[in-house]
Amino acid sequence: MIKNILVDLDDTIYDFRKAEKIAVKKTLEESGLRSEEEVLERYHVLNQEQWKLLEKGEVTREQVKVQRYANLFREYGISKDPKEAAMEYESNLAIGHYFVDGAEDFLEKASKEFDLYMVSNGTSVVQHSRIQSGQIGGFFKEIFISEDMGVNKPSKEFFSYVFDHADIKKEETVVLGDSLTSDILGGLNFGLKTIWFNPNGEENHLDIKPDYEVKSLEEVIPLLRSSSLSSF
């Protein structure tokens, strides 16, 4: 029987893609630089590449923050200092929040039936600011942010840290998140059941097989209640 849900934050509860786009746009415009759709989309791709390297342990978090801008500026011939841009971006990203469809309702209902634990790979100051902005901290028993912990998803060390600090059992816990390479892989490697939140119906071309897949957060609670989870 599932009693605990390890819930990812970005693109599971908060619409990070939207927040990222707005923050990057502001960062570029504040520096007098262009912020056309092409540039914003290219930043997103370069950012994802850096986060994948972080997940593999090939770069540090500080390198991610700066290198994504260094790569973008190099491609577009921008002379601005990428370290300065990285700091401006974090300040812009920390302002406000945007919920994924159904996220508020999910948190309210799920927190009444299950113990929720936030598990995020985000930057500490940014995530804490956004959590406070959205007033969602009260829905979670504990909040685990990788920068505070010193380890990142999908490492076993990340999940070991969570279980060392939360009084929960593996057989009573499920991971809910949008990232196959972070949330799902990390959960599977640690011996946890997983639910892949895939609202856009993306095809899974990876050798990472979540136990369950949902397209909306509305599906999660009925799934956890169902007899199909008797093997959990």
DSSP 154-215: TSHHHHHHHHHHS---GGGEEEEES-IIIIIHHHHHTT-EEEEE-TT-----SS---SEEES
pLDDT number for residue 231? 53
pLDDT truncated to tens, each residue of the chain (232 aa)?
A: 899 999 999 999 999 999 999 999 999 888 777 788 998 999 999 999 999 999 899 999 899 999 999 999 999 988 899 999 999 999 999 988 999 999 999 999 999 999 999 999 989 999 999 999 999 999 999 999 999 999 999 999 999 999 999 999 999 999 999 999 999 999 999 999 999 999 999 999 999 999 999 999 999 999 999 855 545 5
- 4-15+100-229 adopts what CATH topology? Rossmann fold (3.40.50)
Check if the beta carbon of residue 21 is closer than 8 Å to that of residue 92.
Answer: no
Q: What single letter denotes the amino acid at residue 136?
A: I
* CATH classification number, 16-93, choose in 1.20.120.1200, 3.40.50.1820, 2.40.50.150, 1.10.150.240: 1.10.150.240
81 catalytically annotated: no
Give start-end residues of each CATH 3.40.50.1000 domain in the chain.
4-15+100-229
Give start-end residues of each CATH 1.10.150.240 domain in the chain.
16-93
pLDDT number for residue 122? 87
pTM recorded for the entire structure = 0.90
Strands across the sheet with 173-177, in order? 142-145, 115-120, 4-7, 173-177, 193-197, 212-214
pLDDT number for residue 232? 52
Pairing of strands 115-120, 142-145: parallel
Separation between Cα atoms, residue 176 and residue 218, nearest integer Å: 13
Catalytic residue among 8, 10, 11, 178: 8
Alpha carbons within 13 A on the beta-carbon side of 59: 16
Separation between Cα atoms, residue 173 and residue 193, nearest integer Å: 7
Separation between Cα atoms, residue 30 and residue 122, nearest integer Å: 24
